[in-house]
Amino acid sequence: MSGHSKWATIKRKKAATDQKRGNLFTKLVKEITIAAKMGGGDPAGNPRLRLAIDTARANSMPMDNIQRAVKKGTGELEGVTYDEITYEGYGPAGIALIIETATDNRNRTVADIRHIMSRNNGSLGESGSVSWMFQRKGSIEVPVSACDEEALMEALLDAGLEDLSSDGGENYTVLTDVRDLEAAKQALEAQGIPYENAKMDLIPENYIELEAEDARKVIKLIDALEDNDDVQAVYSNMEISESAMNSLED
């Protein structure tokens, strides 16, 4: 999984450098609004909303924006109604892609997604064509500098830890059942272990390893999809070979 984890690290650094804050806030507002609509406006009783608010705060979203998004979700303020639609398909080199969207115009979104895919050597598939390859998990990143692997495992053993891996560099990746994500966060906080990027993730059961040329094509496609305002998240089963990592990091 190291090639996948290292790609995730590159992607995170790129997002921090390149992502327009307004575009990021748009996606976060949508997630808060949908979470509040589905599960109510109290984060204490709505894990999805609590996670969305934590993510927004970690990205420096003002509390006024967060509160307005919650109220739009609960109907206290008038707002746009978003539909959650998931698209499945394939990218260059046969990479599987799952594209999660939140939209107020289904026709616009599917047209945009199909256009982006076709221009970047990808294609949309039928519902269920690739989703069987992925499992929904809770995911948390912990800096390697925060503690050693044994101490991290000990802190999380009773909090639903399913897998612990390292990208060989800056972070450990902790995986849990989605129902145990909050317990894992609380266990880390209780031990004073810092963490970041706590989220619901789609983890592929198997990866396809790519060399630099094909990896660049897939990254270009994923970047184009993520730049679309209706796209909330893109998941793939791409793993980057060790020999390709240096050229991609340059």
Question: Average pLDDT over the chain, rounded to whole?
Answer: 88
pTM of the model: 0.87
List pLDDT tens digits, range 197-228.
Answer: 899 999 999 999 998 899 999 999 999 999 99
3-state secondary structure of 227: coil
As its CATH architecture, domain 2-74 has Orthogonal Bundle (1.10)
Do the first three CATH levels of 2-74 and 133-204 match, i.e. the same topology? no
Give the lowest-confidence range in 66-75, 120-129, 162-171: 162-171
Type and span of the H or E element at 110 = helix 106-119
What residue segments make up the domains of the chain, in order of their start?
2-74, 83-132+206-249, 133-204
Q: What is the pLDDT of residue 197?
A: 85
Q: What is the pLDDT of residue 171?
A: 86
List pLDDT tens digits, range 182-201.
Answer: 999 999 999 999 998 899 99
Q: Identify the CATH homologous superfamily for domain 83-132+206-249.
A: YebC, transcriptional regulation domain (3.30.70.980)
Residues 6+ apart with CB under 8 A from 147: 155, 193
In a 13 Å sphere around the CA of 27, the CA atoms on its Cβ side amount to 19
Q: Does domain 133-204 have CATH number 3.30.70.980?
A: yes
Q: What is the pLDDT of residue 95?
A: 96
